Chain A
């Protein structure tokens, strides 16, 4: 519809332009006509001002009549005075005929042969009188003069009248021309007025269009502003609007009593909802969460802004008067409120949210810092477990700084060999003999000292450096193992990033070839969650590894889903029972039962079992009774550098008689 209107608008503009050009052309024409009219009017006026032959014609008649009258007067009085007068007027009449025979009057006379003849006749008559005037006193002569004059007067009168008529005709012609021009000018004025009116109308139309266009532009600008400030899915404020609101709130110095609180809210397992139920369901969930958050925040009073920054990240901005305690209560309210089932059309879904929040205090007065604090708190809350709320505290920032230092240090650490491989023994409980080692990464940072493996491995996993580090550990483990005096196997943990790479089996084969270690002496440990994330691909990679002769162990068994289908789908060489069962072994009878069951299950499936986290003799005793044979933990030894391994091995083998080959023991009976 918009396009249609625009087209109509363009057509109108085109028409207006055409009219404009026509009007301009018309104006040029008017100016030309006017110029011509002015010229011809001037000419007509000039003509009207030229020598007036009518006047000369009239005066000629008068001269002739006067001449007659003077002779009559002399005839009556006979006085010398009147004789002189008669002669004078004869001269005047002669002079008049001369005047008519030259210049402008002659031009008029010459236009007609009859008139020329008439003038010649008059001239002949009057000229003929000249000698007679010498004999004026003679009555006979006088009467002849008077008779001749009468004829001459007739001729002169005729010419004079014709001159008057011609003059009148010309005057009429001039008047007509002027009248015509006046009419033309009147028309021109009318045309000009019409053009003026058209131009005025066009201008006002144009002005109206401009006004409409401006209004439309303003409306659009407002709409775009709204669009720019809104998340299109949930209609919540977006990041831009949130930042603006936060800045405004921070600048509001009137608020001194109540603290500003920023909540960073994350839906737990939103990706799974998207993956399993589809994006439409995911979007519906986000909308539902948005509405519920708005309801909750509305319940706190007027102030409070809910925004969606993207994905499943929401923020809430509000003010609290009761400090951290009230802020925490509100966070709880949101966690609980959002936990209630969300109706998604097809069915209900329950989600947990994790919240990190921060209060604005004297230390954090800029918006970015507050948001960062809330994000840090959210990270901590997630790390600590989902579905909880965590307030920011200053140590988190230190953690974040430390994390950055660690992340930045990986490259140097690998180059300088700061990340080293230590080995924790795996021992046959019955004999105390070492039957294997687990390779563990250890990092002594130049500034930070020893960094807990869990910490840097997690950071390496997040930053993707885990592939390099994992390969480094694998290579050193293979090399170190190949140098051992006994053919004990070595276990190396794989990361999900390594497992995801299809070239892993090739790399492993290369490393084995480099080190000369037999493939059977390498165990690669994977966790259930690593397999779960992309099970088809993971299982395929694992099968290719197994084809090399490498052993594959399932680490941390018993936690997570422990889906037994994995035991069916893959021929595991070893299960490693998670340390959490061992920890609770003495306090929880169920743990022992579970371990017993796992061992029995593994025995039936011909899978070797190793128990992790054994720290006390009593644990050792219980596990042995449960049927476990191989254990790993502080009770049997911490992780040590490779250099200490030969001595350890020698000790363990000299302590007890060599009954069985460790490799066979490792595999289990």
Chain B
């Protein structure tokens, strides 16, 4: 009985692990709401974001040693996809960190929502699953605190205003 329970527990654990892996693809990583087409919040899984096309940004950051290669979705493409009608985005992280990003940045600098860095998916520990990345190396004007503060990590929600 005890064994059964153990087995059950082990199966449960395995199941939960398997489910976790499956959920990893199916899990909602981002919600976009506010002034978007239809008005209702739209959830995105990593798969949904990959479907919008992959953009690479190679840059150094204040938070990493050496040059990083990020892959992610173009913020501008995502905004077009949701039919954003505002000028500003409010970005909120998993730890409720809050910042604001002007929509013009998305177009002007090619900002991406990165989900991979140096060929590996970003985990929470790696500031994933989504990390707002500006191409700091391409535009020297971005190398200051204002844009660093807009580069929010562990992004969870975007609200169009």
Contacts and interface: CB of A to CB of B under 8 A. Distances in A.
Contact of A50 (B63, B123, B145, B149): B145
Interface string A81-111: 0000000110110110011001111100000
B45 interface: no
B63 A104 contact: yes
A289 B85 CA distance: 115
Contacts of B125: 91, 94-95, 98
A105 B61 CA distance: 11
A399 interface: no
Tell me what chain A mostly uses at the interface: helix, strand, loop, or mixed.
helix
A89 B95 CA distance: 7
A510 interface: no
Contacts of B94: 88, 92
B44 interface: no
Tell me what chain B mostly uses at the interface: helix, strand, loop, or mixed.
loop
A167 to B, nearest CB: 11
Interface in A48-97: 49-52, 55, 59, 62-63, 66, 88-89, 91-92, 94-95
B64 interface: yes
A297 B95 CA distance: 122
A432 to B, nearest CB: 145
A102 B148 contact: no
Contact of B65 (A55, A66, A95, A103): A103
Nearest to B149: A55
Contact of B61 (A66, A94, A98, A103): A103
Contacts of A89: 95
Interface residues of A, number: 23
A92 B94 CA distance: 8
Interface string A10-54: 000000000000000000000000000000000000100111100
Residue of B64, B97, B124, B126 with highest tally of chain A CB at under 10 A: B124
A95 B145 contact: no
B127 interface: yes
B6 interface: no
Interface string B142-154: 0111101100011
B95 A104 contact: no
A92 B124 contact: yes
B123 A91 contact: yes
B124 A88 contact: yes
B16 to A, nearest CB: 11
A46 B141 CA distance: 11
B62 interface: yes
B145 A52 contact: yes
A95 B62 contact: no
B63 A52 contact: no
B95 A49 contact: no
A611 to B, nearest CB: 135
Nearest to B146: A49
A95 B127 contact: yes
Contacts of B145: 49-52, 55
B79 to A, nearest CB: 26
Nearest to B95: A92
Given A52-B145, A91-B123, A102 B154 contact: no
B91 to A, nearest CB: 14
Nearest to B123: A91
Contact of A95 (B126, B146, B148): B126
A52 B127 contact: no
Contacts of A49: 144-146
Contacts of B124: 88, 91-92, 95
B154 A92 contact: yes
Interface string B124-161: 11110000000000000001111011000110000000
Residue of A46, A52, A95, A99 with highest tally of chain B CB at under 10 A: A95
Interface in B93-137: 94-95, 97, 123-127
B141 to A, nearest CB: 10
B127 A99 contact: yes
A103 B153 CA distance: 15
Interface in B37-70: 61-65
A103 B64 contact: yes
A52 B123 contact: no
A49 B61 CA distance: 15
A63 B62 contact: no
Contacts of B143: 50
B64 A59 contact: no
Contacts of A106: 65
Contacts of B63: 99, 102-105
B154 A51 contact: no
B68 to A, nearest CB: 10
A50 B94 CA distance: 25
B64 A95 contact: no
A103 B123 contact: no
A104 B146 CA distance: 15
A95 B124 CA distance: 7
12 contacts: A55-B149, A62-B95, A91-B125, A92-B124, A92-B154, A94-B125, A98-B125, A98-B126, A99-B63, A102-B63, A102-B64, A103-B62
The 5 closest A-B pairs by CB, nearest first: A49-B144, A51-B62, A91-B124, A104-B62, A103-B63
Interface of B: 61-65, 94-95, 97, 123-127, 143-146, 148-149, 153-154
Interface of A: 46, 49-52, 55, 59, 62-63, 66, 88-89, 91-92, 94-95, 98-99, 102-106
Given A92-B94, A95-B125, 18 more contacts: A46-B144, A50-B143, A50-B144, A50-B145, A52-B149, A55-B149, A59-B97, A88-B94, A89-B95, A91-B123, A92-B95, A94-B125, A95-B153, A98-B125, A98-B126, A99-B127, A102-B65, A103-B61
